[in-house]
Amino acid sequence: MKIEIRHAEPEDAEALQAIHTDDAVYANTLQLPMPSKTLWRKRLADIPDNMHILVAAIGNEVVGVLGLETMISKRRRHVASFGVSVKATSQGKGVGRALITAALDLADNWLDIRRIEITAYTDNTGAIALYKSLGFLIEGEMVDYAYRNGEYVNAYQMARVRKTKNG
Protein backbone atom coordinates (compact mmCIF):
# COMPACT_ATOMS: atom_id res chain seq x y z
CA MET A 1 0.00 0.00 0.00
CA LYS A 2 1.70 3.19 -1.22
CA ILE A 3 0.69 6.41 0.50
CA GLU A 4 1.12 9.49 -1.68
CA ILE A 5 1.42 12.86 0.08
CA ARG A 6 0.67 16.00 -1.93
CA HIS A 7 -0.71 19.49 -1.50
CA ALA A 8 -4.49 19.70 -1.40
CA GLU A 9 -6.38 20.82 -4.49
CA PRO A 10 -9.89 22.31 -4.70
CA GLU A 11 -11.18 19.04 -6.16
CA ASP A 12 -10.29 17.32 -2.86
CA ALA A 13 -13.10 19.15 -1.04
CA GLU A 14 -15.68 16.38 -1.33
CA ALA A 15 -13.27 13.71 -0.06
CA LEU A 16 -12.22 15.87 2.89
CA GLN A 17 -15.84 16.62 3.74
CA ALA A 18 -16.59 12.88 3.68
CA ILE A 19 -13.67 12.12 6.03
CA HIS A 20 -14.96 14.68 8.53
CA THR A 21 -18.54 13.35 8.56
CA ASP A 22 -17.38 10.30 10.53
CA ASP A 23 -17.78 10.85 14.28
CA ALA A 24 -14.60 8.83 14.91
CA VAL A 25 -12.77 11.59 13.04
CA TYR A 26 -14.48 14.87 13.92
CA ALA A 27 -14.78 13.93 17.60
CA ASN A 28 -10.99 14.34 17.84
CA THR A 29 -11.01 17.75 16.15
CA LEU A 30 -12.54 21.11 17.00
CA GLN A 31 -14.92 20.79 14.05
CA LEU A 32 -18.64 20.38 14.34
CA PRO A 33 -20.52 17.35 13.01
CA MET A 34 -22.08 17.36 9.54
CA PRO A 35 -19.65 19.65 7.70
CA SER A 36 -20.93 20.88 4.35
CA LYS A 37 -19.22 20.45 1.01
CA THR A 38 -19.47 24.23 0.63
CA LEU A 39 -17.37 24.72 3.77
CA TRP A 40 -14.61 22.48 2.42
CA ARG A 41 -14.78 24.09 -1.03
CA LYS A 42 -14.27 27.51 0.59
CA ARG A 43 -11.38 26.25 2.71
CA LEU A 44 -9.56 24.89 -0.32
CA ALA A 45 -10.41 27.78 -2.65
CA ASP A 46 -8.78 30.45 -0.51
CA ILE A 47 -5.86 29.00 1.43
CA PRO A 48 -3.93 31.72 3.30
CA ASP A 49 -0.21 32.09 2.61
CA ASN A 50 0.68 30.85 6.10
CA MET A 51 -1.32 27.61 5.70
CA HIS A 52 -0.09 24.45 4.01
CA ILE A 53 -2.68 21.74 3.46
CA LEU A 54 -1.40 18.28 2.65
CA VAL A 55 -3.48 15.26 1.72
CA ALA A 56 -2.69 11.56 1.80
CA ALA A 57 -3.97 9.38 -1.01
CA ILE A 58 -3.93 5.66 -1.52
CA GLY A 59 -4.50 5.06 -5.19
CA ASN A 60 -7.07 7.64 -6.22
CA GLU A 61 -8.71 7.85 -2.77
CA VAL A 62 -7.92 10.73 -0.41
CA VAL A 63 -7.69 9.18 3.07
CA GLY A 64 -6.17 11.92 5.21
CA VAL A 65 -5.45 15.61 5.55
CA LEU A 66 -3.02 17.76 7.53
CA GLY A 67 -3.11 21.52 7.89
CA LEU A 68 0.17 23.16 8.89
CA GLU A 69 -0.23 26.78 9.98
CA THR A 70 2.83 28.95 10.41
CA MET A 71 2.49 31.81 12.87
CA ILE A 72 2.45 35.31 11.43
CA SER A 73 3.43 37.20 14.57
CA LYS A 74 6.96 38.56 14.16
CA ARG A 75 8.04 37.01 17.45
CA ARG A 76 6.50 33.58 16.66
CA ARG A 77 7.46 33.12 13.02
CA HIS A 78 9.60 30.16 14.07
CA VAL A 79 6.45 28.32 15.24
CA ALA A 80 3.82 26.28 13.42
CA SER A 81 0.87 24.23 14.56
CA PHE A 82 -0.96 21.46 12.81
CA GLY A 83 -4.10 19.40 12.82
CA VAL A 84 -4.44 16.02 11.17
CA SER A 85 -7.40 13.82 10.28
CA VAL A 86 -7.36 10.32 8.82
CA LYS A 87 -10.34 8.44 7.44
CA ALA A 88 -11.55 6.00 10.10
CA THR A 89 -10.96 2.92 7.93
CA SER A 90 -7.39 4.05 7.18
CA GLN A 91 -6.34 4.77 10.76
CA GLY A 92 -3.49 2.66 12.14
CA LYS A 93 -2.06 2.05 8.66
CA GLY A 94 0.68 4.69 8.56
CA VAL A 95 -1.35 7.48 6.96
CA GLY A 96 -1.06 9.88 9.90
CA ARG A 97 2.65 9.13 10.26
CA ALA A 98 3.22 9.79 6.54
CA LEU A 99 1.34 13.11 6.70
CA ILE A 100 3.17 14.31 9.83
CA THR A 101 6.55 13.20 8.50
CA ALA A 102 5.94 15.18 5.30
CA ALA A 103 4.86 18.22 7.33
CA LEU A 104 7.96 17.97 9.54
CA ASP A 105 10.17 17.83 6.45
CA LEU A 106 8.43 20.90 5.02
CA ALA A 107 8.74 22.75 8.33
CA ASP A 108 12.36 21.79 9.04
CA ASN A 109 13.91 21.98 5.59
CA TRP A 110 11.88 24.56 3.70
CA LEU A 111 10.10 26.87 6.15
CA ASP A 112 12.77 27.10 8.90
CA ILE A 113 10.25 26.24 11.61
CA ARG A 114 11.87 25.44 14.94
CA ARG A 115 8.81 24.67 17.11
CA ILE A 116 5.76 22.67 16.01
CA GLU A 117 2.71 22.45 18.27
CA ILE A 118 -0.23 20.08 18.39
CA THR A 119 -3.19 19.84 20.75
CA ALA A 120 -4.54 16.35 21.43
CA TYR A 121 -7.50 15.27 23.53
CA THR A 122 -6.19 13.27 26.48
CA ASP A 123 -8.31 10.25 25.52
CA ASN A 124 -6.89 10.11 21.96
CA THR A 125 -4.21 7.64 23.02
CA GLY A 126 -3.36 6.45 19.51
CA ALA A 127 -2.61 9.96 18.29
CA ILE A 128 -0.64 10.81 21.43
CA ALA A 129 1.52 7.71 20.97
CA LEU A 130 2.12 8.65 17.32
CA TYR A 131 3.12 12.22 18.21
CA LYS A 132 5.47 10.99 20.94
CA SER A 133 7.09 8.55 18.51
CA LEU A 134 7.84 11.52 16.23
CA GLY A 135 9.54 13.52 18.97
CA PHE A 136 6.64 15.50 20.44
CA LEU A 137 6.50 15.99 24.19
CA ILE A 138 3.52 16.74 26.42
CA GLU A 139 4.07 20.24 27.80
CA GLY A 140 0.88 20.50 29.80
CA GLU A 141 -2.75 19.52 30.23
CA MET A 142 -5.57 21.94 29.53
CA VAL A 143 -8.64 21.28 31.69
CA ASP A 144 -12.07 21.61 30.06
CA TYR A 145 -10.35 22.50 26.78
CA ALA A 146 -13.33 21.80 24.52
CA TYR A 147 -16.98 20.81 24.59
CA ARG A 148 -17.53 17.46 22.88
CA ASN A 149 -20.58 15.23 22.77
CA GLY A 150 -22.27 16.89 25.74
CA GLU A 151 -19.29 17.19 28.07
CA TYR A 152 -16.06 19.11 28.58
CA VAL A 153 -12.86 17.26 27.75
CA ASN A 154 -9.21 17.85 28.58
CA ALA A 155 -6.39 18.13 26.07
CA TYR A 156 -2.64 17.98 26.07
CA GLN A 157 -0.49 20.72 24.60
CA MET A 158 2.35 18.95 22.82
CA ALA A 159 5.32 20.28 20.91
CA ARG A 160 8.46 19.25 19.10
CA VAL A 161 11.36 21.70 19.15
CA ARG A 162 13.91 21.13 16.41
CA LYS A 163 17.47 21.15 17.62
CA THR A 164 19.82 23.41 15.71
CA LYS A 165 23.57 23.11 15.28
CA ASN A 166 24.01 25.66 18.05
CA GLY A 167 21.67 23.92 20.45
Judge contact between 117 and 80, C-beta under 8 A: yes
Give the residue from 99, 109, 126 showing the smallest Cα distance to 28: 126
pLDDT number for residue 23:
85
pLDDT number for residue 99:
98
State the average pLDDT over residues 23-37.
86
CA distance 51 to 82: 9
pLDDT number for residue 167:
60
CA atoms within 13 A on the CB side of 134: 23
pLDDT number for residue 97:
98
Average pLDDT taken over every residue of the chain: 94
CA distance 110 to 123: 33
State the average pLDDT over residues 43-50.
93
pLDDT number for residue 166:
67
Longest dimension (CA), the chain: 48
**Cβ neighbours of residue 103 closer than 8 Å, sequence gap 6 or more:** 52, 54, 66, 68, 82, 116
pLDDT number for residue 133:
98
